[in-house]
Amino acid sequence: MFDVNSKKIVPICFKPEQVKILEQYARSKGALTIGQAIENLVSAN
């Protein structure tokens, strides 16, 4: 049975310069990890 509340894990690849941008964004938003910042971005859309 399909659970609509289950989280799916999708690997995402970034270039080193993109990782630096994501790290800066994560710090500015108070996120502890890049993953948290990405989750924040995805859930906002």
C-alpha span between 14 and 6 (Å, rounded): 25
Question: What is the per-residue pLDDT across 1-45, written as a single tens digit (0 to 9) for each?
Answer: 445 566 677 788 999 999 999 999 999 989 998 988 888 888 876
pLDDT at position 1, please? Answer: 47
pLDDT at position 19, please? Answer: 93
pLDDT at position 42, please? Answer: 83
Report the SS3 class of residue 14. Answer: coil
C-alpha span between 9 and 1 (Å, rounded): 18
CA dihedral 30, 36, 41, 45 (to 10 degrees): -120
pLDDT at position 11, please? Answer: 82
Report the SS3 class of residue 15. Answer: coil
Residues whose CB falls within 8 Å of the CB of residue 36, separated by 6 or more in sequence, listed in order: 26
pLDDT at position 45, please? Answer: 62
